Amino acid sequence: YRACMRIRTRACFGGVATGLATVLLASTASAAPAPGAPGVGDPYYPGDGNGGYDVTHYDIRLTYQPDVDGLSGTTTILATAETELSSFNLDFALDIRSVRVNNRPARVERDTADPTEVVVTPSEPLPEGSPMTVVVRYADTPSKVTVDGWTAWKLTDTGALAVDEPHIAEWWFPSNDHPTDKATYDVAVEVPDDVVALSNGVLSSRSKVRAGWTRWHWRSTEPQATYLTFLAVGDYDVRQATTPSGLPIVNAYDAGLGSIRPAAEASVERTPEVIEFLEGVFGPYPFEAQGGVVTNGLGFALENQTRSVYDAGFFRHGTNMSVVVHENAHQWFGDSVSLERWSDIWLNEGFATYAEYLWSEHIGEGTAAELAQYVYDSVPADDDFWQVLPGDPGADAQFHPAVYDRGALAVHALRTAVGDEVFFELMRTWLEDKRGGHGNIEEFIALAERLAGTQLDDVFEEWLFTKGKPEAGPNGAATR
Ligand code: ARG
Ligand code: ZN
């Protein structure tokens, strides 16, 4: 069908080609060990992720010294070889001291053409299906390490932030850096006593073993994408509580928020209420903890799993529930159900933005229909906004307003087309079926068509894959 035809090189024909390649590989796999691929073939970032192994757990144990931006320590990766491997790649930009694979020293080389590709050659090939324990020791100054001319590692007044999308992991831990290979995490970071170290999940311990230093040990027990794994070091006030159902809540506020602090707290402290509302729409909250971090020096917000991070600027002019709803909606759309390819970004941003409309209606402000109509009516047909395709915006426009706003209008147009019953069933079924995994737009369209019992080419094609302002608004032709 048309949505498929338009992107056939990636999705439809790509599927067939992959199938053939698998057959060919299978027939030769036993013949000789081969290097794992340096990427998973993402259409926007071909070098992201690596072939030939699947990570189940990252144990990241670091020491961070804010005054010199010094990061050192060890990441231990637990993985399984998916093919017989003579070598495999890690995505990592920092300077490596040593790598051991299954308790033997391994050879390490960096691809000169792409310095984030580290080729690890174990002392002997890894049989298909065998467990891998990869211990990487490293030390570097992340703010000085540039990739394509910049660093995603951010220094703040009192520490640093490892928070970004789509690329951040390579500045602080070696990984299989693609949302299709999710894993559980232990993140244990030792920092000077006057700062804190925040990460995802539950604080399993905070301990002192030498004068002047404290180790913060965080644990995530649900599959988590590399880019959603974060580290924030700095002077934060940490507020801990428990939800009525027993989930730990950890919120943290940069100690330097000043007059912004009350509005930040009046927003982020309502995280449990937001999650309760979203559970009514999307189904059960998929994780073991929740919370938010408000910081200076980020410039955006990011839906880090169980603990979104917000730039203080979002609360400069007052409370901002939209951003809290948006990031928490991503816990379902993006974090629990991750993108199969970065080109599927609409599945994250369109739904997180639409959740803001649903919240507005929930609290008795504008209805979702009114908000969608207003956005549609506000942007003239000749505006460049309508030239970006939410269904495939391009790597450079991944976070273009059209992905968010036209993306949300697309969600509302879908709701108009299928009716409320099918629409809400569709979101819940998608999230339940894909929980802890990943999906792509074609799969979402197929599910929508199955539940609606009808072809939906027109609505998806027009709202996601066709340039220009759709003729009919998100509420249908009658409301134009
Ligand atoms: N997913 C984030 C959000 O919607 C956007 C992150 C933008 N990334 C960036 N590097 N500016 O809230
Ligand atoms: Zn978003």
Residue 297 binned pLDDT confidence (cut-offs 50, 70, 90): very high
Task: Specify the residue with its C-alpha closest to ligand 1, atom 1.
Answer: 302
In the block, residue with structure tokens 């939209």: 322
**Ligand 1 mean position to 300 CA, how many Å?**
6
pLDDT tens column, 34-83: 999 999 999 999 999 999 999 999 999 999 999 999 999 999 999 999 99
Residue 14 binned pLDDT confidence (cut-offs 50, 70, 90): very low
For residue 454, pLDDT over 70 is answered with yes
pTM of this prediction?
0.93
- Of the candidates 137, 59, 145, which has an alpha carbon nearest to the alpha carbon of residue 94? 145
pLDDT of res. 112: 87
Residue 477 binned pLDDT confidence (cut-offs 50, 70, 90): confident
pLDDT of res. 417: 98
pLDDT of res. 126: 98
pLDDT tens column, 148-190: 999 999 999 999 999 999 999 999 999 999 999 999 999 999 9
End-to-end CA distance of the chain: 28
Counting ligands in written order, the one closest to the CA of 353 is: 2
d(CA 116, CA 280): 42
Whether 260 is in the pocket of ligand 1, judged by its Cβ within 6 Å, is no
Task: Select the more confidently predicted residue: 11 or 235.
Answer: 235
**Ligand 1 mean position to 402 CA, how many Å?**
14
Q: Can you tell me the ipTM of this complex?
A: 0.97
Whether 165 is in the pocket of ligand 1, judged by its Cβ within 6 Å, is yes
Prior bond to 166 cis, omega within 30? Answer: yes
Residues 6+ apart with CB under 8 A from 226: 168, 169, 175, 176, 177, 178, 179, 181
Counting ligands in written order, the one closest to the CA of 308 is: 1
- Of the candidates 167, 68, 64, which has an alpha carbon nearest to the alpha carbon of residue 115? 167
pLDDT of res. 17: 36
Whether 386 is in the pocket of ligand 1, judged by its Cβ within 6 Å, is no
pLDDT tens column, 325-374: 999 999 999 999 999 999 999 999 999 999 999 999 999 999 999 999 99
